DNA sequence: CCTATAATTTAGTCATACCTAAATTTAGAT
DNA sequence: ATCTAAATTTAGGTATGACTAAATTATAGG
């Protein structure tokens, strides 16, 4: 009568490694030991040990050769997307139903993502109407684990004078989110990079909705991702990437 | 600027031990090694090791002497009630907002109870209107961790011919919950123990709302807890205990 | 090609939380 | 009071997933 657990389940640690490797592979083609260590705040020696284990599982979650870093296998990709989907659905759920602000959702989702069942994930998705963006604008993999390709790039790479539309903001620094939110730089906000002052590394950005021009440092300008907008309020596409969460 | 984490946090294993010890101490005055082992489905040797650790923490969570079993300390009682509150709030939340039936909530809550923050617990409680019963009728400790004393006793102890009102049902056996629910034996259902057939251990129970008389075996009759009802639809109190979750 | 530096891996520990098998203690029955 | 059966503890292991220190490998400049 009991249905067999078809879905293999992995430890919290493996799931966090998978998410980080997924992000780094997207960004750079492969995930190096030291980058993984930095992202997870563990020592590189610990990463080596974990990569060896993940590569020797049946099926292997990563393809790994000494000194060459790791990439995800098909199985690893699937698991990574499952965790990412749970994470982003949870973020949106906490935001929409439980009064969480966008700077509070990430930390809570970071723990919940490892313990919710497929059933709960599906119920949350249904309640939210099968959404495709989390509160920071990150794309949510579909139920069949397809992740929309990213076209947006850091605000800091917008040409001076160019218009853009905010697509997403890195979600792992609550203080950045609160600051950026206060400035009106939320997903779908049209902006214009008025100028870039190279000598102090600041970006002067017009926020169309408020009419204000705000001044951003490098850290913040690299945490905000935008698409080109040829004319204000007209949305276009383009390609490039780099991300968080 | 960051608030220091005032609230000590314990491992999942410790939290599950605390819940079980709390239940057993309520039931029998103390929690023995083998009872704890049975409840948690681990070996008694593992329990001894955990009790030793819990007793040596600062502050200790249990008071423990070799061969004498354990009781909760003040700190242990507080932590136990915090986990129990999270568990029962989660059960009700899953039931009310996410379409979980009463036989599905326990398993999911069993994992979530260890990872939700105080903040999330408070948001859920607020959304539910600070409830005092979970879907099985179990009392939810108040925000300041007061647990209403239990007055109900197993249906099997109702005198033959006596009226009762269902107060709660053990929640750890989904099949029992589905069965009992189908019979109409849910919290607040008035019933009457029509007869007890000693020779085959069955209980014949009139369910007032349906008008049906159902026949229960010992296992089910001991999983349903009731209060006396002097006359149908008039509620009274009484004392005794024994429980689950 | 050679070397200095950075990245990575290896080796050896530690803590948590479980296990089995063997030894010990307690309690109940005579 | 003694013995036996049940409960409990001790001893010795396993698997995770972290760490440090030391050894090794890769890479880039000269
Ligand atoms: Mn996580
Ligand atoms: Mn996000
Ligand atoms: Mn639990
Ligand atoms: Mn319950």
pTM, 2 dp: 0.91
CB contact under 8 A, B114 and A114: no
Query: pLDDT (tens digit, 9 = 90+) per residue, B162-212?
Result: 999 999 999 989 999 999 999 999 999 999 999 999 999 999 999 999 999
- In 3D space, the residue among A242, A167, A156 whose CA is nearest the CA of residue A204 turns out to be A156
The CATH classification of domain A153-233, taken from the options 1.20.140.10, 3.90.1720.10, 2.30.30.90, 3.40.1010.10: 2.30.30.90
Cα A191 from Cα A226, distance rounded (Å): 9
B101: its two tokens: 């039936």
According to the model, what pLDDT value does residue A83 have?
98
pLDDT of res. A237: 44
pLDDT band at B242 (very low <50, low <70, confident <90, very high): low
**Tokens at B194, concatenated:** 């029509």
Nucleotide nearest B10, from its CA to each C1': C16
Q: What is the residue extent of each domain of chain B?
A: 8-72, 87-149, 153-233
Which residues share a beta bridge with A206?
A192, A213
Which residues face A26 on adjacent strands? none
- Closest chain B C-alpha to A103 CA, distance in angstroms: 14
Closest nucleotide to A43: CA versus each C1': D19
- B67 CA to C25 C1' distance (Å): 8
Sequence-separated (6 or more) residues with CB below 8 Å from residue A151: A167, A227, A237, A238, A239, A240, A241
Contact B99 A123 (CB under 8 A): yes
User: To probe the interface with B, which of A112, A118, A121 has the most B CB atoms within 10 Å?
Assistant: A112
Say if B87-149 and B153-233 have the same CATH topology. Answer: no
Contacts 24+ apart (CB under 8 A), A124-130: A124/A89, A124/A90, A124/A93, A124/B98, A125/A89, A127/A93, A127/A97, A127/B97, A127/B98, A128/A89, A128/A92, A128/A93, A128/A96
Topology annotation, domain A87-149: Arc Repressor Mutant, subunit A (1.10.10)
DSSP state of B242: -
pLDDT of B1 strictly over 70: no
Average pLDDT value for residue range B136-162: 95
B8-72 CATH, one of 3.90.380.10, 3.40.50.720, 3.40.50.300, 1.10.10.10: 1.10.10.10
Largest CA distance in chain A: 70
User: Is A172 at the interface with chain B, CB within 8 A?
Assistant: no
Count Cβ atoms below 10 Å from residue B22 Cβ, excluding itself: 21
Total H helices, total E strands in chain B = 8, 8
Which parts of chain A register pLDDT below 70?
1-6, 232-245
Examine the pLDDT at B238 and tell me if it is beyond 70. no
Over residues B24-68, the pLDDT tens digits come to 999 999 999 999 999 999 999 999 999 999 999 999 999 999 999
Given this model, what pLDDT does residue A124 score?
A: 98
Give me the residue from A100, A115, A127 closest to B115, CB to CB.
A115
């Amino acid at each position: 009568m009991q249905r067999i657990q078809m879905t293999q389940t992995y430890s919290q640690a493996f799931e966090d490694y998978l998410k980080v490797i997924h992000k780094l592979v997207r960004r750079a083609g492969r995930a190096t030991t030291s980058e993984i260590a930095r992202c997870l705040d563990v020592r590189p020696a610990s990463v080596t040990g974990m990569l060896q284990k993940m590569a020797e599982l049946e099926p292997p979650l990563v393809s790994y050769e000494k000194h060459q870093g790791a990439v995800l296998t098909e199985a690893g990709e699937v698991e990574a997307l499952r965790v990412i989907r749970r994470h982003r659905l949870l973020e949106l759920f906490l935001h929409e139903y439980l009064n969480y602000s966008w700077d509070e959702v990430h930390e809570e989702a970071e723990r919940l993502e490892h313990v919710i069942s497929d059933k709960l994930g599906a119920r949350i998705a249904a309640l939210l109407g099968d959404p495709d963006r989390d509160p920071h604008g990150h794309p949510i993999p579909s139920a069949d684990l397809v992740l929309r390709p990213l076209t947006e790039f850091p605000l800091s790479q917008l040409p001076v004078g160019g218009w853009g539309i905010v697509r997403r903001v890195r979600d792992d620094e609550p203080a950045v989110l609160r600051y950026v939110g206060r400035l009106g730089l939320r997903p779908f906000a049209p902006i214009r990079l008025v100028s870039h002052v190279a000598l102090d590394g600041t970006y002067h950005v017009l926020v169309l909705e408020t009419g204000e021009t705000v001044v951003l440092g490098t850290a913040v300008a690299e945490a905000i991702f935008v698409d080109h907008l040829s004319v204000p309020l007209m949305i276009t596409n383009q390609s490039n990437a780099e991300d968080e969460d």
